[in-house]
Amino acid sequence: MRKKASYTRTVSHELIGHRRSLLRFKAYKLYCNTCKRYGNQQFPGINKHQRSTWRLQAAVFHDHTRGISQKDLAQQFKKGKATIERWYHRHYQEQARELMNTPCPVVLGIYEHFSRKQGFATTLCDLKKHKIFDIVKGRSEADLSSYLASLVGKERVKVVCGYSCERDHRLSPSVITYYCAVFTSGEIITK
């Protein structure tokens, strides 16, 4: 491997205050003697062929999630609306992958809700962190069996707390026994 030539690479970086920032640095064009191919020097946080850092893309994702329109973000960062859309989808998919790998919480809250449009939904909560873990459509064993079978880390659950939307606010005995079968190591608490 040898350095064939150098060039100046310009990359957009996140805002400092309200000012856009550009990173300009020297990069090298490389030549591999064994495979007889050329390539450019790679840097962490900047993917191949990209003109912006990962941190700028993450900032745009969070701004767009908070409600700032693509048009305003495109004007602020001097990028196209399609670029903003692409960055948003990339970070959205990345967060979805992170959520898929999240293990089941130790203290799990199970709440049933009903709406006229959607029907029943079961919300699984992490009661230690006070965060929603997941929302599953339905409330019966048939609705939840495929989801609970594929749930990662369900053996970690120690306590399951249940709350129903019905008048007596208790989960039915069949649902309680089903949760006992799924989370075998946990104790069931109903309110």
User: Could you write out the three-class secondary structure of the chain?
Assistant: CEEEEEEEEEEEEEEECCEEEEEEEEEEEEEECCCCEEEECCECCECCCCCECHHHHHHHHHHHHCCCCHHHHHHHHCCCHHHHHHHHHHHHHHHHHHHHCCCCCCEEEEEEEEECCCEEEEEEEECCCCEEEEEEECCCHHHHHHHHHCCCCHHHCCEEEEECCCCCCCCCHHHHHHHHHHCCCCEEEEC
CA dihedral 31, 35, 40, 42 (to 10 degrees): -120
Of the two residues 157 and 69, the one the predictor is more confident about is 69
CA angle 125, 97, 119 (to 5 degrees): 45
CATH 3.30.420.10, the chain: domain bounds: 107-190
Average pLDDT over residues 168-173: 51
Q: Is residue 71 over pLDDT 90?
A: yes
Query: Dihedral sign, CA of 72, 75, 80, 83?
Result: negative
Q: Give CATH superfamily name and number for 107-190.
A: Ribonuclease H-like superfamily/Ribonuclease H (3.30.420.10)
Put simply, whether the predicted model's pTM sits higher than 0.85 gets the answer no
- The pLDDT, as a whole number, for residue 179 is 64
- The pLDDT, as a whole number, for residue 85 is 93
How many other CB atoms sit within 10 Å of the CB of residue 152?
11
- The pLDDT, as a whole number, for residue 189 is 54
| pLDDT band (50, 70, 90) for residue 121 | confident
Q: What is the C-alpha separation between 185 and 25, in angstroms, rounded?
A: 56
Picking from 187, 181, 133, the residue whose alpha carbon sits closest to that of residue 161 is: 187
> 186 and 157 in contact (C-beta within 8 Å)?
yes
- The pLDDT, as a whole number, for residue 184 is 56
- The pLDDT, as a whole number, for residue 73 is 92
Q: Is residue 34 over pLDDT 60?
A: yes
pLDDT digits (tens, 9 = 90+) for 92-115: 898 888 777 778 888 888 888 888
Average pLDDT over residues 7-27: 86
